Amino acid sequence: MGRLLTSGELARELGVSLRTVQRWVADGVIEPKLRTAGGHGRYDADEARDQLRRHHARPK
C-alpha cells in the first residue's frame, strides 16, 4: 500500500473530477481505505482502481 490520498488527490490520480469520486463513493463503487476522525475518506489509488475494475466487470 502506498500513501493514502484525499478524494481530491485520488481524482487527480485517476484523471476524473472530484465530483466523480464523490459520486462513486456515494454509490458504493469505491470505498475509502480509512476514515479520519473528522469523517474524511482516505484512499489507496491501486485499491480504488481495482474496485473500479470489479464494478465495471459486473454483469448488468
Per-residue pLDDT reduced to its tens digit, 30-46: 999 999 999 999 999 99
Q: Is 13 helix (H, G, I), strand (E, B) or coil?
A: helix
In the numeric block, the cell 481524482 is attached to 11
Rg (CA), the chain: 11
Global pTM value: 0.89
- The grid coordinates of residue 56 equal 465495471
Number of C-beta neighbours around residue 45 at 10 A: 18
Residue 1: its pLDDT value, please? 61
Query: Alpha carbon 58 to chain centroid distance?
Result: 18
**Residue located via cell numbers 480504488:** 48
- List the pLDDT tens digit at each of the 60 positions of the chain: 678 999 999 999 999 999 999 999 999 999 999 999 999 999 999 999 999 999 989 776
